[in-house]
Amino acid sequence: MSQKITSYPGHEITPDELKEGKYLDVQYKFVPRYSWAAGVAISRFLDELKEGRIVARKCNQCERILVPPRMYCEQCYRPTDEWVQVKDTGTVNTFSISHVGTDARRLKTPILVAVVDLDGAGPGMGILHNLGEVEPSRIRIGMKVQAVWKKPGERQGAITDIRYFKPMEV
């Protein structure tokens, strides 16, 4: 049928037409605000971050140490059993250098982001965070990194209490 049809429906608005304001443009701005409940597991996680510690939950059945922590193991489908502290060092699992911000605008300084597999957690248990104090071209998968924390008085109980991860001094 596609070769029998001669015209495909649709009216495009070209970038030039957009600029010249050829079509009616009705604008609506609003800012929904949210207050999300952190939940049982993450509430404790954030409390511990404020103290400069990273905690995880252990599932005694599959023996995985889960971070970010959760009150149920999604594989065994049962409640997790105990709180465990994990180290604030880890290995870079994958990384990227981002030149665009949240709204797709180009950034002057690129953001370095990585998935860091934490030491002491189960295999492949990573968290998303930024990298810092490192030349972008020197970042490698498998690189050992350690967390750089905010000063105790500055911490709020947020993921940003860790400023970033930097290469571990050898």
Partner 1 sequence: MKRRVAIVGAGITLFRRRMLETPKELSFEASKMALDSAGMTLKDIQSVVSGSAPDAFDGVHMKGEYYLDGMGAIGKPHERVYVGGGTGVFTPIGGWWNVASGLYDTCLCVAEEKMSPLHPHPQYAFWSIFDQILERPLGTTLLWIFSLEMRRYMHKYGIKEEEIAEVAVKNKGNAIDHPSAQLGAKISVDDVMRSEPICEPVKRLDVSPPSDGAAAVILASEKVAKKLTDQPVWLDGVGWTLDSTHWTNRDLAYPEYVEKAAKMAYKMAGIKNPRKEIDVAEPYDPFDYKELHHLEGLQLAGKGEAPKMTVDGVTQRDGDLPVCPSGGLLGVGNPIAAAGMMKICEIFWQLRGEAGKRQVKKDARTGLAQAWGDLMQVGTVAVMRS
Partner 2 sequence: MPILEKISQSSQARHWTDSIPLEFHYTAGVAGEEFRRELKKTGMFLASECSKCKNSYIPARMFCPSCFIEMKETRTLEGPGYVYSYTTVNRNRTGEPNGPVTIAMIRFEGAKGGIVHKLEVSEPGSVTFGMKVVPILKEAAERTGALTDILAFRPA
- Each residue 121-160 as x (binds partner 2 by CB under 8 A) or -, in order, gives ------------------------------------xx--
Q: Can you tell me which of 11, 19, 138, 151 binds partner 1, judged by CB under 8 A?
A: 11
**75 in Cβ contact with 96 (< 8 Å):** no
**22 is written with which tokens?**
């050829």
Q: Can you tell me which of 93, 146, 150, 166 binds partner 1, judged by CB under 8 A?
A: 93
Position 60, amino acid: N
- Each residue 16-35 as x (binds partner 2 by CB under 8 A) or -, in order, gives -------xxxxxxxxxxxxx
Ranges of H-type helices in 89-157: none
Q: How many residues would you count in the chain? A: 170
Q: Is 47 in the site for partner 1 (CB under 8 A)?
A: no
Largest CA distance in the chain: 71
Q: Can you tell me which of 44, 130, 132, 144 binds partner 1, judged by CB under 8 A?
A: 130
Q: Is 94 in the site for partner 1 (CB under 8 A)?
A: yes
For residue 76, count other CB atoms closer than 10 A to its CB: 14
Q: Distances from the Cα of 124 to the Cαs of 87, 159, 164, in angstroms?
A: 15, 19, 19
Query: What is the sign, positive or negative, of the torsion defined by CA atoms of 72, 76, 80, 82?
Result: negative
| Stretch (H or E) spanning 45 | helix 39-50
CB under 8 A: which stretch of 63-71, 76-84, 144-152 binds partner 1?
63-71
Q: Which residues bind partner 1 (CB under 8 A)?
A: 1-5, 8-15, 18, 23, 28, 34, 36, 38, 42, 46, 66, 68, 70, 74, 93-105, 111, 113-115, 124-130, 136, 141, 158-160
Q: Which residues bind partner 2 (CB under 8 A)?
A: 11, 13, 23-38, 40, 42-44, 46-47, 71-72, 78-79, 157-158
